[in-house]
Amino acid sequence: MGWGFCLKAIWMLVTVSVLQIGLGTCVAGESPCIQAGVTMEGFMFALAFPSSYVLLVLSPFVGWENVHSMTDYAWLWLGAFVAGYVQWFFLVPKLFEAQGITSLGLNSKARLQRDVSRRRKRRSRRHTSHEIKSFDADGRTPVERVFRTGDRNRS
């Protein structure tokens, strides 16, 4: 498991915990639910920042300015969760997957490793090629054998 997986698992654990604690608080009534909603907004918008900024701007138009019930709490949490999930699990990894360090190949170690791998490839090619014997049992070269074979086929 890598660091990315661990961070994503922690993010999921914290966001689901915020949901559970808030919904449990909303059971007690409207006043504790309003306070739980304010606290949840802070946590979820921090966990989903900067994509949660869009939700913060849209919340007055959707009617999420105040959390009065468990339903309001759940919808606001779901909106921040989806925004953060898309951001951290899809967009950010997509941004950094193709990124690499651009270099000119001036590092001596990298150059040496590249040269060694090229030499190994060349050696392996040499060993796989077919060897041609310089002289056969009669002492003829390959060219002489080709011409002699051609003379026999003509007659």
- Same domain? For 39 and 88 the reply is yes
- Final residue of a structural domain among 48, 78, 97: 97
Q: What is the pLDDT of residue 17?
A: 94
What's the pLDDT tens digit per position in 96-145? Answer: 776 566 666 555 666 666 666 666 665 555 555 566 667 777 878 878 88
Q: What is the pLDDT of residue 142?
A: 79
- Same domain? For 28 and 93 the reply is yes
What's the pLDDT tens digit per position in 28-60? Answer: 888 888 888 888 888 888 888 888 778 777 777
Q: Which residues constitute the domain of residue 23?
A: 3-97
Count of structural domains within the chain = 2
- Same domain? For 29 and 78 the reply is yes
For the chain, give the longest Cα–Cα distance.
Answer: 113
- Same domain? For 58 and 26 the reply is yes
Are 44 and 81 in contact by the 8 Å Cβ rule? The answer is yes
The more confident residue out of 148 and 23 is: 23
Q: What is the pLDDT of residue 85?
A: 93
How many DSSP H helices and E strands does the chain contain?
Answer: 7, 0
Structure tokens at 21: 């604690």
- Same domain? For 41 and 78 the reply is yes
pTM: 0.57
Rounded CA separation 75/72 (Å): 5
Q: What is the pLDDT of residue 21?
A: 92
- Cα four-point dihedral sign 5, 7, 10, 14: negative
- Final residue of a structural domain among 97, 114, 141: 97
